[in-house]
Amino acid sequence: MTIASIEKIFIEDLTGLYGPEEAGSIAWLVIGFVCKINRTQYLNNKNDDLSGREVTTFHRILSDLKKGVPVQYLLGETEFYGSIFKVNSSVLIPRPETEELVDWVLKDLKIRIAELQEPTLLDIGTGSGCIPISIKKYLPNLGVAALEVSNDALEVAKENAKLNHTDIHFTLDDILNPTADWQTFSVITSNPPYVTLAEKNHMHVNVLEHEPHLALFVPEDDPLVFYEAIARFASQHLEKGGFIYLEINENLGQETVSLLSRKGFRNIQLRQDLRDRDRMIRAQM
Ligand SMILES: C[S@@+](CC[C@H](N)C(=O)[O-])C[C@H]1O[C@@H](n2cnc3c(N)ncnc32)[C@H](O)[C@@H]1O
């Protein structure tokens, strides 16, 4: 069996579940990973025979993909903001819209950082650590900390910090009831859980059945409970004039803006992602 023939099988078998375009992208991701080749090597070697071990690996991965397991969990890694991050079922798979949030923070901080004395950043609900690690990679002099309630997620985040050669201070804590001894920060970032029960019914089965519910859903179906808690935390631990950057539920843009305004934030800016959905907020203390 050749690389080209396995690609054909993947596309045929996965098109029903993912559509032809995504099936093609998944096929290529798996081929690159299993055969350890880049696109040019693929184009030059697609008629090469696969080893028996490679064929077995392809069939195992294909069988799990057909059950809806996300390809990133099967490969154990994903790309985010130009870096590779380990992922497993304890962490949310980093999303492209979160790259847009990181980009916003970085663009602002590159301008502001010279004015700040000992600039620091805290990421709340860090999951795989994709937000603070990506920021620290581009701003090595920024002091970066991350908070997470899941010990298993924190282990993944620590591994990712090592993999990406970044020094991050990780703390296990619950933002709904924080107990650690927290300092103040110049910037706070967060992509907290924001999916409601009503939205759960419209979710794709491979998200619902495979990604951690702790990362997705709000407890007691209060969609703003985490934003309320983060605003409370920020009122004590964000420097005066400091900024908060939040990823938000696209259906709750105005409600989240009003909440932050009631909590005393100013210069609140609601921003749309590349698909024109209300997705991010920046606000100043
Ligand atoms: C939407 S995920 C975001 C993960 C990561 N920051 C990202 O953007 O891919 C939310 C994260 O918040 C964490 N979390 C849930 N409840 C929490 C709590 N009470 N305190 C702190 N973190 C919490 C989850 O475990 C999960 O890692």
pLDDT digits 0-9 by tens, 262-274: 999 999 999 999 9
127 within ligand 1 shell (Cβ under 6 A): yes
Give the residue-averaged pLDDT of 165-193. 97
Q: What are the residues facing 85 on neighbouring strands?
A: 78
User: Do the Cβ atoms of 90 and 156 come closer than 8 Å?
Assistant: yes
Residues 238, 31: Cα–Cα separation, whole Å: 46
- Determine the atom of ligand 1 nearest the C-alpha atom of 174: 20
ipTM of model over 0.90? yes
User: Do the Cβ atoms of 105 and 247 come closer than 8 Å?
Assistant: no
Nearest CA to ligand 1 atom 18: 174
> Ligand 1: which of 79, 131, 148 to mutate, judged by most atoms within 8 Å of the beta carbon?
148
Contacts of 262 (CB under 8 A, 6+ apart): none
User: Do the Cβ atoms of 72 and 85 come closer than 8 Å?
Assistant: no
pLDDT for 176 equals 97
Q: Identify the weakest region by mean pLDDT among 36-40, 165-169, 171-175.
A: 36-40
Please count the helices (runs of H) and the strands (runs of E) in the chain: 13, 9
